[in-house]
């Protein structure tokens, strides 16, 4: 099968690309000019220069393809540079759907996010919802995946936690640290995208993807530390009433590590029921406790 892939230079996209090639598919990857070197595979991979937010760059781009895997997304806006949730999530998805419909590609696999809903208080989830709505209202044979927090070798999530643990003797924790997460392995997400290409029973379905167990943020820190060979993480819990005003004031600075939206999503937790996904794809979700060790090379 020939697959048109967006987001192929990203964390999830790199693994999806690797698995597509490994299973014999041919990939045409949409890559912004200057980012070609970020592709992790070369064999059976064509590069199409373009951008999901530029509809003209998609004209003829999908010719000869059998399916689209649409992964492009952002977790933070930079309005000053024209990088917004609405532009990337909504406009980008609309452009990809129109390109697929106009160029005769019926199969469309879309990556959304766990927690996406119509009346979310965050722009991230609201725009993810609007993108899903566009997908569901299209004429295509679609499947939507909603993963929880994603982990694996090279993931920003694990990198952020490990750097905190390594560099700071007392790790700051926002709030009480009891909000729960259900990290899901990037390998299993990617395998599901690849397998769904040839699973007609997944058409018009939405799947929630999470790990085999949920943990509090405090527990996630401890599990990460153990995977790094450390016994214990000393934590300093910061009351939300103290943190919120500072984040609101500083979130406009590009190098400040968290925004108000991200804070909201963090403390509301990120868990899901994985039953439908596990049954449809005949898999056992890997838990963070089991999988995090693979994120650190054995010395």
CATH assignment of the domain containing 15? 3.40.50.720
Domain count, the chain: 1
Spatial distance between the Cα atoms of 151 and 139, rounded to a whole number of angstroms: 33
pTM value > 0.85: yes
Kindly indicate the confidence band of residue 274, based on its pLDDT and cuts at 50, 70 and 90. Answer: very high
Least confident of 39-43, 161-165, 172-176: 39-43
Per DSSP bridges, beta strands 180-181 and 215-216 are antiparallel
For the cut 60, the answer to whether the pLDDT of residue 228 exceeds it is yes
Tell which phi-psi region holds residue 113, choosing left (phi > 0), alpha (psi between -120 and 50) or beta. beta
Token pair of 58 as six digits:
């998609």
At 124-142, the pLDDT tens digits run 999 999 999 999 999 999 9
- Residue-wise pLDDT tens digits, 80-114: 899 999 999 999 999 999 999 999 999 999 999 99
Report which of 38, 72, 284 is spatially closest to residue 185, judged by C-alpha positions: 284
- Residue 202 within any structural domain of the chain: yes
d(CA 252, CA 46): 38
Which pLDDT band, with edges at 50, 70 and 90, does 33 fall under? confident
- CA gap 122, 263 in Å, rounded: 10
pLDDT score, position 56: 98
Q: Which of 58, 86, 61 has the alpha carbon at shortest distance from 74?
A: 86
Which residue bears the tokens 């709505």?
133
> Rounded to the nearest 10 degrees, what angle do helices 217-227 and 156-167 cross at?
80
Q: Given this model, what pLDDT does residue 64 score?
A: 97
Task: Assess if residue 109 is contained within a domain.
Answer: yes
The domain containing residue 10 runs over which residues? 2-151+184-211+272-294
Residue 178 lies in a domain: no
* CB within 8 Å of 234: residues ≥ 6 apart: 169, 170, 171
H helices within 85-238, ranges in order?
Answer: 85, 92-102, 123-137, 156-167, 186-196, 217-227
265 inside domain = no
Tokens representing 37 are: 């070197």
Alpha-carbon distances of 179 from 127, 183, 261, 268, rounded to whole Å:
23, 13, 16, 7
Model pLDDT, residue 142: 98
Asked, for residue 189, whether it belongs to a domain, the answer is yes
In the predicted model, what is the mean pLDDT of residues 193-203? 98
For residue 236, tell me if it sits in a domain: no
Tell me whether residue 118 is in a domain: yes
Angstrom distance (rounded) from CA 263 to CA 265: 5
Give domain status of residue 220, yes or no. Answer: no
With a pLDDT cut of 70, the percent of the chain lying above it is 99
Query: CA 6, 10, 11, 16 torsion: positive or negative?
Result: positive
């Amino acid at each position: 099968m020939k697959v048109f892939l967006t987001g192929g230079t990203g964390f999830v996209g790199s693994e999806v690309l690797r698995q597509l090639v490994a299973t014999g598919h041919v990939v045409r990857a949409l890559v912004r000019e200057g980012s070609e070197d970020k592709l992790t595979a070369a064999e059976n991979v064509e590069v199409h220069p373009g951008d999901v937010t530029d509809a003209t760059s998609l004209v003829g781009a999908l010719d000869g393809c059998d399916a689209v895997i649409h992964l492009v997304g952002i977790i933070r806006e930079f309005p000053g540079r024209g990088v917004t949730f609405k532009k990337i999530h909504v406009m980008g998805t609309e452009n990809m759907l129109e390109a697929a419909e106009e160029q005769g590609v019926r199969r469309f696999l879309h990556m959304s996010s766990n927690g996406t809903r119509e009346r979310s208080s965050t722009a991230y989830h609201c725009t993810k919802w609007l993108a899903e709505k566009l997908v569901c209202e299209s004429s295509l044979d679609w499947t939507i995946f909603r993963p929880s927090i994603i982990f694996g070798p090279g993931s920003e999530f694990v990198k952020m936690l490990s750097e905190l643990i390594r560099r700071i003797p007392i790790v700051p924790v926002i709030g009480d640290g009891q909000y729960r997460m259900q990290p899901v392995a990037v390998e299993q997400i990617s395998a599901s995208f690849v397998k769904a290409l040839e699973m007609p029973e997944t058409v018009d379905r939405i799947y929630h993807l999470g790990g085999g167990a949920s943990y509090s943020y405090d527990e996630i820190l401890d599990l990460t530390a153990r995977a790094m060979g450390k016994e214990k993480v000393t934590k300093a819990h910061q009351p939300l009433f103290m943190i919120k005003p500072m984040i609101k004031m500083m979130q406009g600075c590009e190098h400040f590590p968290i925004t108000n939206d991200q804070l909201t999503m963090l403390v509301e937790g990120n868990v899901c029921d994985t039953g439908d996904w596990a049954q449809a794809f005949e898999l056992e979700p890997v838990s963070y406790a089991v999988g995090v060790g693979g994120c650190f090379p054995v010395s």
